[in-house]
Amino acid sequence: MNKTQLIDVVANESGLKKKEAEAAVNAALKAIEDALVDGDRVQLIGFGNFEVKETKEREGINPQTQEKIKIAASKRPTFSASKALKAKLNG
């Protein structure tokens, strides 16, 4: 499912007009993004958690030249599904 399809589902399920559903989806995604940028965890009960994890600087190998390179530390968003969502996925 892509963002356009998600907007269509939200519009159909909620009875909102497509423009209103698009605004709602965009607002929700922006709120999640802003929270993650601020270092906050986003917990959606029954669905899962979004959070930021930090990776340490590490050494890697350039596959083309076999040279050792340093891979910089970075932050990455992660999602962990709730028990309820995992239960639905696994029957």
* pLDDT single digits (tens) 58-84: 999 999 999 999 999 999 999 999 999
Give the pLDDT score at 27. Answer: 98
Q: What is the CA radius of gyration of the chain?
A: 19
Task: Name the burial class of residue 7, with classes exposed (0-12), middle (13-18) and buried (19+) by CB atoms within 10 angstroms of its CB.
Answer: buried
- CA 8 – CA 26 distance, rounded (Å): 13
Q: How far is CA 62 from the centre of its chain?
A: 29
10 close to 24: Cβ distance less than 8 angstroms: yes
pLDDT tens, 26-40? 999 999 999 999 999
Which pair of tokens denotes residue 11? 């519009």
- What pLDDT, on a 0 to 100 scale, did the predictor assign at position 58? 95
**Its pTM surpasses 0.85:** no
